[in-house]
Structure 1
Amino acid sequence: MTGHRRYPSDLSDARWKLLEPTLSAWRAERRGNGLDFGRPPEHDLRRIMEAILYVDRTGIPWRYLPHDFPPWETTYGYFAHWQKDGILEKLNGVLRRLIRDREGRDAEPSACVLDAQSVKTSANVPTAGQGIDAGKRIVGRKRHVGVDTVGLLLAVWVTAASVSDNAGGIHLLSAIAAAHPTITKAWADSGYRTKAIEHGATLGIDVEVVQRDPTVKGFRILPRRWIVERTLGWLMQHRRLARDYETHPHRSEAMIHLAMIDLMTRRLTHENTPNWRDP
């Protein structure tokens, strides 16, 4: 790729090679179905993905995209189509299986870890889509996530912050059981009580609550739970996720899939993920 100045979020040739087959197949299918109105593609898929990753990594509004990227309307249009058509979720699955295979694990996991994260929202998020997490005193949204034992995303559900962890756990377990029938074990914190445990049992998943020792003061790493908490830390390296800026919850879920795609492609190509702080 030449003709423009490179950004730290841009894709290397090796990372693009991991994404190109899925995105090119999506474009070819749309052309075959006549969804592009017979017009030849005007913008390069790689540059569009780099523009979307730039937004996810830097946290800027879509309208503030630098002018050396495709127009923001085009970029957002592709992002919306990829979310709606399940392309970002599909890429997440492809990359996850590649990582698990490289590390000598079965392509499909047998266990998962559940957790939730409440975040504040921006002014453009409708009031009806927000809620109050009374325990954490946060007005905004909640991200319910399920990861495998490596910390790679299996399922995500974004709701108002007022939705309980229990309700989120039930939704996640149903989604995980449908997509990954090999999973028979799940670990979670004390927020996932009776109903989530009982629902897991109906799906053939043994949900174990990892309790914090009340006699221990200060920070302590908890078995299994640290895996999903580390994943949430990985996500927060993307400024678009430091707060929820998306008008629609499903777009928030897509931003989380994007962050994981960014992280997994770097992991597969042994490239560092630069932090906000320039060393």
Structure 2
Amino acid sequence: MTAWRRARLDRRPTGQPTKVDLRDVFNAILYVNRTGIPWKYLPHDFPNHGTVYAYYAAWRDEGVFAQLNYDLTGLARVKEGRKPEPTASVIDTQSVKTSSNVPLTSQGTDAAGDRREEARHPHRHDWPPPRCDRHRRRPLGERPGIRLLDQAKEKYPTVSKSWVDTGFKNAVVEHGARLGIDVEVVNRNPDTRGFHVVKRRWVVERSIGWLMMHRRLARDYETLTASSEAVIHMDETTPTWRGTY
């Protein structure tokens, strides 16, 4: 964050930095994500809510949250004796209810067709901290899986293996093969009733559980998909930076 601010000093007429403490701004964003409160309800211990949101919007639009997530996970992997770049990933799908401010064009319905909801397609690389998650509203067949594979290969050319749930089938498998990624569809055991751990998919399902501890993600409040992605990246940094200590 300090480097981000330093790079923008020349844009200010006076060349002087603002007086706001970026650590306080960062903590305020974490507070909003964890508690799910509106921006204007930020406690007075933090900077003004307008200032906090202005920094949040700038960091969202410039991809700062995503880059922070990637960098922290690379450091955590190195601490565990791994290479910073992953070689495998897991893709799964999650649906959550939407709020009234989400555009109708980005909403879908559940299996019964009676509830508005949006679909998230988490993409997690094969190491405990979640990383490179992407948020896409409304189920669009296998296209979200194809996009995620493209994004993963672009960001991490080292990825050569991916496990997906049964919602992604032939098109995703074939596209992965063209990218040099071996895509394996992981099925549940039909003979087992109730909850049971599914091979590899449990990793991303655990990550979804971590994310849902943040009330901002318990329901989709964001008008912009970019904001939803930024919130996910921001919330992922919490377990990730703990792994760097």
One fold, TM greater than 0.5? Answer: yes
1:259 paired residue among 228, 235, 238: 235
2:118 paired residue among 141, 144, 148: 141
How far off its partner does 1:169 sit? 0.7
The alignment's TM-score, normalised by the length of structure 1, stands at 0.83
Counterpart of 1:217 in structure 2 is 193
| One-letter code aligned to 2:161 | K
How far off its partner does 1:267 sit? 3.1
The equivalences for 1:104-143 within 5 A come to 104-134=81-111, 138-143=115-120
Q: Structure 1 residues 179 and 135, CA, compared in 2 at 3 Å: closer, same or farther?
A: farther
CA distance in 2, matches of 1:157, 1:119: 15
| One-letter code aligned to 1:99 | A
CA distance in 1, matches of 2:213, 2:74: 23
The alignment status of 1:98 with 2:72, answered yes or no, reads no
CA distance in 2, matches of 1:112, 1:183: 7
| One-letter code aligned to 1:117 | Q
The answer as to whether partners of 1:169 and 1:192 remain within 8 angstroms in 2 is yes
| One-letter code aligned to 2:7 | E
The answer as to whether partners of 2:220 and 2:228 remain within 8 angstroms in 1 is yes
The alignment status of 1:196 with 2:172, answered yes or no, reads yes
Deviates most, 122-131 or 198-207? 122-131
Counterpart of 1:69 in structure 2 is 46
Counterpart of 1:27 in structure 2 is 5
CA distance in 2, matches of 1:68, 1:123: 30
| One-letter code aligned to 1:26 | W
Q: Structure 1 residues 135 and 158, CA, compared in 2 at 3 Å: closer, same or farther?
A: farther
Partner SS, residue 94 of structure 2 = strand
Superposition RMSD in Å: 1.6
How far off its partner does 1:232 sit? 0.4
| One-letter code aligned to 2:39 | W
Counterpart of 1:4 in structure 2 is none
Partner SS, residue 145 of structure 2 = helix
CA distance in 1, matches of 2:50, 2:151: 32
The alignment status of 1:241 with 2:217, answered yes or no, reads yes
2:130 paired residue among 149, 153, 162: 153
Where structure 2 has 5 or more consecutive residues not aligned to the other structure, the ranges are none
Higher relative contact order (CA 8 A, sep 6+): 2
How far off its partner does 1:244 sit? 0.9
CA distance in 2, matches of 1:252, 1:141: 11
CA distance in 1, matches of 2:124, 2:135: 15
| One-letter code aligned to 2:28 | A
Counterpart of 2:160 in structure 1 is 184
The alignment status of 1:54 with 2:31, answered yes or no, reads yes
How far off its partner does 1:253 sit? 0.4
CA distance in 1, matches of 2:31, 2:47: 12
The answer as to whether partners of 2:87 and 2:161 remain within 8 angstroms in 1 is yes
How far off its partner does 1:137 sit? 6.3
The count of residues paired between Structure 1 and Structure 2 equals 244
The alignment's TM-score, normalised by the length of structure 2, stands at 0.94
2:140 paired residue among 163, 177, 183: 163
CA offsets per residue over residues 43-84 of structure 1, 9 Å max, x none? 100000010000011110111111221111111110111011
Counterpart of 1:10 in structure 2 is none
